[in-house]
Amino acid sequence: MELEKVKIHRKQEKGSAVSQITLDDDYNVPDYRPDIVKVLREKGELRFDEVKAGSGAVWVKGVLSFRVLYRSEQSEGKISCLKGEIPFQEKLNLDGIQEFEKVTAAGEIEDITIGVINSRKLNVRAVVELRVAADEEVDETLTSGFSDSEEYEQRIGHEAALTLLLSSRDICRQKSEVVLPSSKPNVREILWRSIELRNVESHIRGGKAQVMGEVLIAVLYSEEEESDRLQWYETTVPLECGTDCEVEEENGVCKIKVTPLSMEVEVKPDYDGEERILVLELALSLDIRVWREENLELLTDIYSLKKNVSPVRRERTLERLLVKNYAKCRIAEQMELAESQEKILQICACEGKVNLERREPAENGIQAEGTITVELLYITTDDNMPVGTVREIYPFSQLIEVPQMQRGLRMELEPGIEQLQAVMLDQEHIEIKAVVHLDLLAFEERQIANIEEIEEEPLDMERLKASPGLVGYIAKEGDDLWEIAKENHTTIQDIMETNGWKEKQLSAGDTVLIVKRVS
């Protein structure tokens, strides 16, 4: 007697932890940079250098990289910039984690403020949320039947389930060059750069995980002339990079999460030795997962006419994809400058960041609520303060439809910006139009009572003899032939032959003649 098995490979979260830290440090302005009068714009990015698991804890080591655009030498309205780093190391307690286990880390800068202490010193203060998680891959071994089926009556059921084919992380890189148009002067120094991904799509094809979309590049720079005037240039570069993938499951369920690790723009000379070529270097982290949807035939019940059979069951977890949905939320707002702010001559950069604050089950899907932070960098009408910035936060709410919506589903919801546009209405008013996309994967996790083994005993012949040999039964709502046959020590095939039936259908009110079978 041998049980036949099938395996489902899946990934489950072993544990996760979240910690909020505050970074507060002073930064001295390098000697080669002019004095600071006023900070115009700041931006921070996180970089993780080391993520290491210990006994019951995870150590995260990294740096907060920051950039500052500031005004110097107030009488001349000169604009300058600097960048620096603040290191950090944090311990996050994570129950059950052991040394050398694989863990991942992510983080988000919730707020960053850079203030002027004096003309040669800045105070950098940031609130950072750190998240760590440990996953493990498991095989669920399920029973599909018995190899010796003649002695046993087997009931086979069907279950839809996902099996994980691939779970991997990799880095793809792209290097692109952009030549300044002839109408733009040579670059002396890049003062500020804005790099954002738009319309990112991903798929697996031909053994490769491919990422496609657009990279929006905008640079504020001082021109290579004695006047040292400010210049602005923006362009779009196609995004097309990828990495080798171990599976070619083009019809499977694929999820590729794209996270920028670094996005830099530098300037280099052209063939004539003039600083006119912008070099874009991207490093993107790809979290790749591929599933295949399986229709499993599993053993759900068993009995025998020759012995007492008791199945031993154990709960196992199966997962199926409930929905893969891509929703869009459109936002249209009007931004107004404060009276104290310099008026707009030209918008240079419009940057956005989406923060998903709530995601709750609703009647027909998932209700997602969050905010989009829009920051503008612009050329002003005031020569003494040639660059200005403005920042606003706008809320959004979107229902993402989920067929067969139910409580307790597991979801992965990734927000992003598909489009963001700022249009001047006049020198004080700007129209903001944005499209926020919400990429949803919703999974149903359910427990099944899998038959792990079979315990057998000899038949209780006295009890069998005491039971009636012939039974007339009127079917009730919800009855099925399997339970009737099992309870009366016969088979479905015998019941059908006795009653002259060709179909296994049983309806309420049907009269069933049952003859006990003794081998």
In a domain, 168, yes or no: yes
Q: Are residues 279 and 383 in the same domain?
A: no
For residue 303, what are the contacts with CB-CB under 8 A and spacing of at least 6? Answer: 152, 153, 309, 486
Model confidence at 467: pLDDT above 90 = no
Model confidence at 74: pLDDT above 80 = no
CATH code: domain of residue 508: 3.10.350.10
Q: Are residues 7 and 142 in the same domain?
A: yes
Q: Are residues 347 and 423 in the same domain?
A: yes
- Average confidence (pLDDT) over 322-340: 91
- Identify how many contiguous H helices and E strands the chain contains and give both numbers: 3, 20
φ, ψ for residue 476, nearest 5 deg = -105, 170
Confidence of residue 216 (pLDDT cuts 50, 70, 90): very high
pLDDT of 226 reads 63
In a domain, 153, yes or no: no
Q: Are residues 405 and 382 in the same domain?
A: yes
Pick from 88-92, 361-365, 497-501: least confident:
361-365
Confidence of residue 384 (pLDDT cuts 50, 70, 90): confident
Please write down the HEC assignment for all residues of 102-155: CCEEEEEEEEEEEEEEECCEEEEEEEEEEEEEEEEEEEEEEEEEECCCCCCEEE
Q: Are residues 169 and 297 in the same domain?
A: yes
Query: pTM of this prediction?
Result: 0.86
- Other C-beta atoms lying within 10 Å of the C-beta of residue 443: 18
- Average confidence (pLDDT) over 408-418: 88
Q: Which domain holds residue 355?
A: 321-444
In a domain, 177, yes or no: yes
Whose structure tokens read 């148009």? 181
Model confidence at 249: pLDDT above 70 = no
Model confidence at 61: pLDDT above 80 = yes
- Side chain identity at residue 204, one-letter code: I
Among the candidates 148, 178, 199, a domain finishes at 148
Q: Are residues 112 and 166 in the same domain?
A: no
In a domain, 314, yes or no: no
User: How many CA atoms does the CB half-sphere of 163 hold within 13 Å?
Assistant: 16
Q: Are residues 426 and 394 in the same domain?
A: yes
Confidence of residue 343 (pLDDT cuts 50, 70, 90): very high
Model confidence at 359: pLDDT above 70 = yes
CB 498 within 8 A of CB 511: no
Q: Are residues 437 and 325 in the same domain?
A: yes
Percent of the chain with pLDDT over 90: 56
pLDDT of 126 reads 96
Q: Are residues 260 and 165 in the same domain?
A: yes
pLDDT of 510 reads 87
Model confidence at 404: pLDDT above 90 = no
Which one of 56-60, 100-104, 509-513 scores highest in mean pLDDT?
Answer: 56-60
pLDDT of 109 reads 93
Q: What is the pLDDT of residues 279-298, one digit of tens each?
A: 999 999 999 999 999 999 99
- Average confidence (pLDDT) over 354-379: 91
pLDDT of 462 reads 78
Model confidence at 75: pLDDT above 60 = no
Burial degree of 167 (CB within 10 A; 0-12, 13-18, 19+): middle
Dist. CA 284–CA 257, nearest whole Å: 10
Tokens encoding 1: 């007697």
Confidence of residue 517 (pLDDT cuts 50, 70, 90): confident
In a domain, 405, yes or no: yes
pLDDT of 304 reads 87
pLDDT of 375 reads 94
Dist. CA 399–CA 406, nearest whole Å: 15
Confidence of residue 145 (pLDDT cuts 50, 70, 90): confident
- Average confidence (pLDDT) over 404-414: 82
pLDDT of 421 reads 93
pLDDT of 250 reads 61
Burial degree of 50 (CB within 10 A; 0-12, 13-18, 19+): exposed
Tokens encoding 114: 């850079």
Q: Are residues 383 and 434 in the same domain?
A: yes
Q: What is the pLDDT of residues 27-45, one digit of tens each?
A: 999 998 989 988 999 999 9
Number of domains in the chain: 4
In a domain, 225, yes or no: yes
Tokens encoding 270: 């052209």
Residues 337-372 as b/e (b if ≥16 CB within 10 A, e otherwise) read beeebbebeebbbbbbbbeeeebebeeebbebebeb
In a domain, 450, yes or no: no
In a domain, 353, yes or no: yes
- Average confidence (pLDDT) over 157-162: 92
Tokens encoding 217: 């590049």
What is the overall mean pLDDT for the chain? Answer: 90
Q: Are residues 140 and 1 in the same domain?
A: yes
Confidence of residue 480 (pLDDT cuts 50, 70, 90): confident
Dist. CA 415–CA 437, nearest whole Å: 6
Q: Are residues 177 and 235 in the same domain?
A: yes
Confidence of residue 100 (pLDDT cuts 50, 70, 90): confident
Look at residues 235, 234, 215, 219 and name the one whose alpha carbon lies nearest to residue 187.
219
**DSSP per residue, 466-514:** HS-SEEEEE--TT--HHHHHHHTT--HHHHHHHHT-SS----TT-EEEE
